[in-house]
Structure 1
Amino acid sequence: MLLIGNGYLITRTQQGLIKDGCVAIEGKTIKEVGTTSTLRQKYPEAEFIDAKQGLIMPGLVNMHNHIYSTFARGLSINGYHPQNFLDILEGQWFRLDRELTNDMTYASARVAYLDSIKNGVTTMFDHHASYGEITNSLSALSQAADELGVRTTLCYEVSDRNGADQMKAAVAENVRFIKAAAGRDDDMQHAMMGLHAAFTLSDDTLDYCREMTPDTTGFHIHIAEGISDVADSLAKYQQPIVNRLYQHNILGKKTLAGHCIHIGPHEMELLRDTDTMVVTNPESNMGNAVGTPAALRMFNDYNLLIGIGTDGYTNDLTESYKFANLIHKHHLADPNAGWTEIPEMIFGNNPKMANRYFNTKLGVLEPNAAADVIVVDYQAPTPITDSNYNSHILFGVNGRNVRDTIINGEIRMKNFEVQGIDEAKIWADAQVEAQKLWHRING
């Protein structure tokens, strides 16, 4: 038995905020929530983690990430001077993923999952590409996730950009891992069929992916991240991207549509009518200068299940919370925009989306929910109440305030110290593999 108490317990349920709250964990799930005094009296022999009047929250869920971008930090590519989004893809990301080996993938994954733990992210959906070595690359990610103990859903980015043989190898890697994940019984890893973006996928490839994907599995794809994706679909297929994907039976309840920046009302209706999930990535979109999605319209007017990811830009979702709050206010010139929608996307919708794959209830602190709990080191200068705790998180918290991270009932970080992992070796190995990658890229 493990108790985490003496803090402001944010349950994310109708029970709301419990001051001097405590959560009792037994095995892999939550047994009970209540006040610290009540639960310590009830379970006197339990191990106790003292939140020290900080915040006790459900672990965070990152719905769209690119672990393979880890080694891009600090990278300078010879001759790289992008003028638009296609230049960014072709000049940096496609060049990087063409050189990634499984050893590099594994080393970068250990860093990304470690960083997730440090930032309170207990579940991550990753979209992988490593055309330098495709086969077993998802197993390299899976091994790292198992070692660090983070829940994860993985896929490989299928694309025609490197020819038919590598496209089929990417599909085969997805199919292999879908079968491997289905054979697990721990609810810690799941799989999707990854697709890059419509402009790098022919009709034949979309049909091939659909044919090779079980009906119980959805697709993870970028949609209209750049305006060039829209132009390509209209020029080649005389229809918007979402319409095209609908015709090829790619949309659906288990499909995750990333970005969706340049889509119109009819496409939003198709996403709604097929119950397709949408995830936006504010920091990445700003960094790539690709525009601002109509996320609040999708949330309010079309009732889409829309969440927020980091797209490889960071592993800190609280940082993305800040950027999402700002970008929509700025874009709409409306100081009221996003106050309620953005936290609902991150803290409410992200777990709901993840639970279309994971069976254990995520994102809430209640009996029988996943024992994924974080403690945030935060001292409030003003009262914390049921109506304002999101504002405290928005303005007072970042990922490095996370003191303790518990995943699946296991303490993965305690008092800022990651448990059972040689953290120094992870960083040292990453340095070695990153140097190899950089040399391969620049020659």
Structure 2
Amino acid sequence: MIVIKKTRVMQTMPPFGIADDVDVVIKDDIITAVGKGAGDGLKADKIIDGMNKTVTAGNVCGHHHYYSGLSRGMLISAGPQDDFIQVLKEWWWRLDRGLDEEATYYSSLICSLDAIAAGTTTCIDHHASPNYIANSLDTIAKGMEEVGVRGTTCYEVTDRNFGMKEVEAGVEENLRFAKDAKSRKLVRGMVGGHAPFTIPDEGLRMMAEAMQESGAGLHLHVAEDKYDVVHSHHHYNMDIVDRLEKFGLLTDNSLLVHGLYLNAAEIEKINSHGTFFAHNARSNMNNHVGYCQNLQKVKNLIIGTDGCGGNMFEELKLAFFKHKDEGGSWWPGDFVTALARGNNLVEKYFDGKFGRVEKGYKADLNILDYRSPTPLVADNSSAHFVWGMSSNCVESVMVDGKLVMENRQFPGIDVSAIYARAAKVARRVWEKVDTIAP
């Protein structure tokens, strides 16, 4: 049993709320009590002084690319990147072909460590390594589990390198892992796909069968750029979402990503199926693909990074600022709500309730060292989240009732050794990628 004594609790999932000078009691992986004096007289295995600290539910990264973990500062020669397809071909589709088992493992370790350090307790990953498909998801899961982050992962089905052989291998890896991962404690599987413009109808049919057999949902990029929309109209004479619906891919445990150029009717159809939709503001800006003008119409909106790290405090700030720059009418509370809604997707894959610091909820928690110079109350807590709090405040992190980071240290993990080895692996990967033609 762990007791956090005399702390402030801040709810980031509506209804927002602040409770001061309360105890949080955790037994095994569940919060069993929250309130003044709730820990008095209990024989706790560990007591944490929560004075002047703020306890929140852990953040969820609604869409990540762990395979990009070793791309930071990547030094390779590359041709023009004047449109999105050129960006993919000159950069990301070369990187993923350079990944092997060791590179995938260290990518997972680095992304998991960075996420926990930033207060992100769950990452919804979307993986690609065309020259290392079979068992690659086990490697991603191994890194997640060793660090202690919760997550889902999947393999992005595509025909872009090796045609239907590659599609079949991707579907097989998704199905195998989604079934096997049900016995894992911290990691589950989804059925991944790159994007509709690199998946033929037969691939979508196979993915639908894998979803039905495993019970897992879809995780797919859609309409990140206008090219995906035009491709669908040209080759299939259908809107993207209609094509997905045709194969039964729109489920309430599925996740579509980006969606910048989906039309209003497509958004309405996604909403009617209860399908989740991840917004990735930084990535959209970085790739210069535009802005999702229908964002405020999305029912199950969550927030991801598209591989731009796992820092959701940073991501949320940029998402909010970009929204205001585009003339949007949402305020901090709307974006904090979208971030917290990621827990609804987590609940589709893990037993229990997530997202609140409340009795009966899973103990995925952050302890923040946040000193507010102004009143912090329920009505302005989301503004504090956007304008005041940051990953610099993250002092300790708990996942599934276990302290995976305490006082900014990772118990039992040699972080320096991991980063040192990762740098060597990254250099090797870069050298290989530099020899790969677009």
Q: TM-score, normalised by structure 2?
A: 0.95
- Which residue is 1:67 aligned to? 66
Query: How big is the shift at 1:28?
Result: 1.0
For residues 34-53 of structure 1, the aligned pairs below 5 Å read: 34-35=35-36, 38-43=37-42, 45-53=44-52
- Which residue is 1:345 aligned to? 338
Where 1:249 maps in the other structure, the secondary structure is coil
- Which residue is 2:387 aligned to? 395
- Which residue is 1:114 aligned to? 113
CA distance in 1, matches of 2:277, 2:404: 30
Where 2:326 maps in the other structure, the secondary structure is helix
* Amino acid corresponding to residue 31 of structure 2 in structure 1: I
CA distance in 1, matches of 2:87, 2:50: 43
Greater displacement, 188-197 / 7-16: 7-16
* Amino acid corresponding to residue 339 of structure 1 in structure 2: P
Query: How big is the shift at 1:51?
Result: 3.1
Is 2:236 the counterpart of 1:243? no
Is 2:325 the counterpart of 1:323? no
- Which residue is 1:30 aligned to? 31
CA distance in 1, matches of 2:251, 2:49: 43
Greater displacement, 311-320 / 202-211: 202-211
Query: How big is the shift at 1:337?
Result: 2.7
Is 2:220 the counterpart of 1:227? no
Contact 2:81 2:90 in 1 (8 A): yes
For residues 130-279 of structure 1, the aligned pairs below 5 Å read: 130-162=129-161, 163-184=163-184, 186=185, 188-214=186-212, 216-279=215-278
Q: CA RMSD in A?
A: 1.5
- Which residue is 1:2 aligned to? 2
CA distance in 1, matches of 2:373, 2:193: 46
CA distance in 2, matches of 1:48, 1:294: 48
CA distance in 1, matches of 2:421, 2:225: 35
Residues 306 and 14 (structure 1), Cα distance of their counterparts in 2 relative to 1, 3 Å cut: closer
- Which residue is 2:368 aligned to? 376
Contact 1:99 1:440 in 2 (8 A): yes
Kindly provide the CA deviation profile for residues 282-316 of structure 1, in whole angstroms up to 9, marking residues without a partner as x.
111111111111354324xxxx1111001111210
Query: How big is the shift at 1:81?
Result: 2.8
Query: How big is the shift at 1:45?
Result: 4.2
Q: TM-score, normalised by structure 1?
A: 0.94
CA distance in 1, matches of 2:319, 2:331: 8
> Tell me, which stretches of 5 or more residues in structure 1 are unaligned?
none
Contact 2:16 2:378 in 1 (8 A): no
Greater displacement, 206-215 / 272-281: 206-215
CA distance in 2, matches of 1:213, 1:305: 20
CA distance in 2, matches of 1:289, 1:53: 42
Residues 15 and 397 (structure 1), Cα distance of their counterparts in 2 relative to 1, 3 Å cut: closer
CA distance in 2, matches of 1:189, 1:402: 23
> Tell me, which stretches of 5 or more residues in structure 2 are unaligned?
none
Where 1:341 maps in the other structure, the secondary structure is helix
CA distance in 1, matches of 2:78, 2:43: 64
CA distance in 1, matches of 2:343, 2:2: 23
Query: Aligned pair count?
Result: 432
List structure 1 segments (4+ residues) > 6 angstroms apart after TM superposition: none
Contact 2:24 2:39 in 1 (8 A): no
Where 1:168 maps in the other structure, the secondary structure is helix
- Which residue is 2:95 aligned to? 96
* Amino acid corresponding to residue 17 of structure 1 in structure 2: I
